[in-house]
Structure 1
Amino acid sequence: MKSPSTLWAFDAYQRIRPRLPEPVSTSITPELVPSLAAIADRFDGFIFDAFGVLNAGDMALPTAVARFHDLQAMGKHCLVLSNAATAPQQQLVQKYRNLGFPLTQDQLISSRMLVTDALASAPEQTWAVMAPASAHADQLPCRSFVITSQIVQTSREKLDSADAILMLSAQDWTEELQHGLIDSLRRRPRQVWVANPDLVAPRENGLSLEPGHYAHHLTDATGLDTVFFGKPFSNAFDAAKSRLAHIPASRLLMVGDTLHTDILGGRCAGISTMLVTAHGALKGMDVNACIATSGIVPDFIAPEI
C-alpha cells in the first residue's frame, strides 16, 4: 500500500484495541502546556518515545535536542524508550548521538534490546526472521535465517522448518513475503514474536508501515497469538521503571506522540503522560476527537517538547 495517513493509522490502532492492554479507568482532563519546560519541575525522570518526539526518520525535531540538553543540565534523568528494532543497540545509540542527543547505552531501551534478552533464554531454537540485511540479524543470540523472496518462492520447506518466527523489522518487507509467511504458519503453526508493536512510524516524508501492522494482519489471517516486545506492553515499561527505580512513579513522565502505544502504556504503568502533537502519529488530526474516541487520555498535551 502507499504511505499510510495519520487517519488510517488511528483507525487501525482502534481496530486492534482489544489486543492492547487496558488501563485502570480514571477521570483526567488534559492540561495544555506550551512545551515540556512548563512542567519540568514537577518530574525527576523523563521517558521519551523516539520517533515523532525526538526525531522523524533521520532528522532531529526542532527544540528536541536543546530540551534534552536542558533537562540533563537541570539534573533530570532522561531515558529513551523506543519500539525501534532494526538497528542493534550500539548502532541505535550512535544514531541519536549523531543527531545531537547526549545518550549513553544506559539511557536507551529499545524493543530490539528487549527481544534480544528474551532470545538468549532459548538459544536452541531456530528463528525465521523478518528483517533486511541492514538489521544484522546474525548478531541475535540465537540460530536464525532471514526470510527472503527466494525462501518464500523455492525453499518453503526451510521456512516451514523454523521453530519460531521473529518479526524484527518491516524495512524492505513485501506483500509476497507476508503472504509466504502466512502460508507457512497455516501449514505449520508456530510461536511468533514481534520486536516492534508499532503499526506506523513517523519519517521525514510521512508514515512507514512497521512490524506491528504485519503482525496483526498475520494474527487475523492465522488465528495465532503473537508475543509483543515494546510499548504499550508491560515488558517495555517494566524495563524503563527498573532503570529509573530510584525515582518514585509519581515523579516520572512518559512523553510520546501516539495514544495507543506511548500514552496507553504509560497509563497502564501508573505514570504520568504527555502527548506531543506537531510531528508524529496525530499530526494534522483533531487531537481532542482522537482522545474522546479512544478513551486514552494523557495528563498533558503540548505541540512538541
Structure 2
Amino acid sequence: MSALTPPLQTPSTRWAFEAYQRVRPRLPISASTNVTPEFVPSLGAIADQFDGFIFDAFGVLNAGNTALPTAVARFHELQAMGKHCLILSNAATAPQQQLVKKYRHLGFPITQEQLISSRMLVSDALAREKEQTWAVMAPASAHADQLPCHSFVIANQTVKANREKLDNADAILMLSAQGWTEELQQSLTESLHRRSRPVWVANPDLVAPREKGLSLEPGHYAHRLIDATGRDTVFFGKPFRNAFDAAKNRLSHIPASRLLMVGDTLHTDILGGRSSGISTMLVTAHGALKGLDVTSCIELSGIVPDFIAPEI
C-alpha cells in the first residue's frame, strides 16, 4: 500500500504536512542549524538585511489565479528599493511565457528573467536529452507539444484503445495533475511494471493552494508511483538542488548571505533554501500550513526557518 494514500476529499493542510513527513527520506537533507526562528510582522521588517529575494508563488504571492492581498504592494515596494526579486515556482502546467503573463496580469511587474519555473527547468533538461518519445501526464491546456521532445499526452482514450503506445514510450514525464484520475494512475503503474523506464517529475509539490483549498499535484502521484514500482525518479523543482542552483545562478552577483527564500511550505521552500545555504522566511496565513500549529510543525519536521511571518 502506498504511503500516500489519496484523501477521500479535498486534502487538508494537516494531511499534506503528514504526507510530506512520510516522503521526507526522499527529500534533500537540511543543513544542521541551531537557529531559533524570529517572528516578524511582515517581510518589510527585515527587507534591509537582504538584497535578493526568491519568492515561492502559490501560497505566498497568489492562491490559484488570485493575487494575495499584500503581496503585490510588497513586490512593488522591494523593486522600488532596488532589491532583486525572483519567483521560483514549481508550476509546470503553463509554458514559461504564459506563466510570466499570468503574474504580470496579477500585478507583479516581472520580466522573463525574474521567473524560474519547474516547466523551464525540465524543458532545458529535455533539450539536452537524446531523441526519444515521452509519455506526458498533462491536460491539453498544458501544450505538451511545445516541449523540446517527441511526446504524447497520457489520456483515457490512449490507454483504452492502445495500451502498447504507453508501454512503448521511452520515458515518462509527470508535468501536470490537472485532469489526472485514479484510473490513469493505475494504468501508468501497470505500464511501468510491464516495462521499466525513466520517470521525470516536473512539479515535486504534493499539494498547491487554490482559491477553495488544496489541489493534489504531480509530486503526490510520483511518490505513489515510487511506492508501487520501486522506480527511481528525477524531480525538477523545490526542494531539489536544480531549482536552487538556477535561482542562485540568476542572482550570482549577490552573496548568498544576502539572499532570502520566502515560502509557505517547510518541506519544499524552507528545506530547499536551507539545503542550498541561504536564509529562509516562512509565511503562514494562506498556504500549506494555514490553520496548523506552526511551531509544532517545525519541531516535528526539524526544518527550521530563520524568520516567520503571516504574509509578506
TM range (shorter): over 0.9
Matching of residue 264 in structure 1 with residue 271 in structure 2: yes
User: Where do 5+ consecutive residues of structure 1 fail to align?
Assistant: none
For each residue in 1:195-215, what CA deviation from the matched residue of structure 2 results, as whole angstroms up to 9, or x when unmatched? 000000000000000000000
Q: Which residues in structure 2 correspond to 1:87-236 (within 5 Å)?
A: 87-236=94-243
For each residue in 1:40-95, what CA deviation from the matched residue of structure 2 results, as whole angstroms up to 9, or x when unmatched? 00000000000000000000001000000000000000000000000000000000
User: Pick from 6, 29, 48: which aligns with 1:22?
Assistant: 29
Amino acid at match of 1:126: T
Aligned counterparts of 1:92 and 1:31: Cα–Cα separation in 2: 33
Shift of 1:152: 1.6
Identity of aligned residues (%): 82
Amino acid at match of 2:166: L
- SS of aligned partner of 1:274: strand
- SS of aligned partner of 1:281: coil
Q: Which residues in structure 2 correspond to 1:230-249 (within 5 Å)?
A: 230-249=237-256
Shift of 1:123: 4.5
Quick check: 1:123–1:143 contact (8 Å CA) kept in 2?
A: no
- SS of aligned partner of 1:78: strand
- SS of aligned partner of 2:11: coil
User: Pick from 251, 261, 264: which aligns with 1:254?
Assistant: 261
Match of 1:70 in 2: 77
Q: Give the aligned length.
A: 305
Aligned counterparts of 1:145 and 1:206: Cα–Cα separation in 2: 30
Shift of 1:154: 2.3
Match of 1:39 in 2: 46
- SS of aligned partner of 1:166: strand
For each residue in 1:136-160, what CA deviation from the matched residue of structure 2 results, as whole angstroms up to 9, or x when unmatched? 0000000000000011222110000
User: Pick from 279, 284, 297: which aligns with 2:286?
Assistant: 279
Shift of 1:227: 0.2
- SS of aligned partner of 1:80: strand
Q: Over the residues paired in the alignment, what is the CA RMSD in angstroms?
A: 0.5
| TM-score, with length taken from structure 2 | 0.97
Quick check: 1:123–1:142 contact (8 Å CA) kept in 2?
A: no
Aligned counterparts of 2:229 and 2:160: Cα–Cα separation in 1: 20
Match of 1:303 in 2: 310
Amino acid at match of 2:116: I
User: Where do 5+ consecutive residues of structure 2 fail to align?
Assistant: 1-7
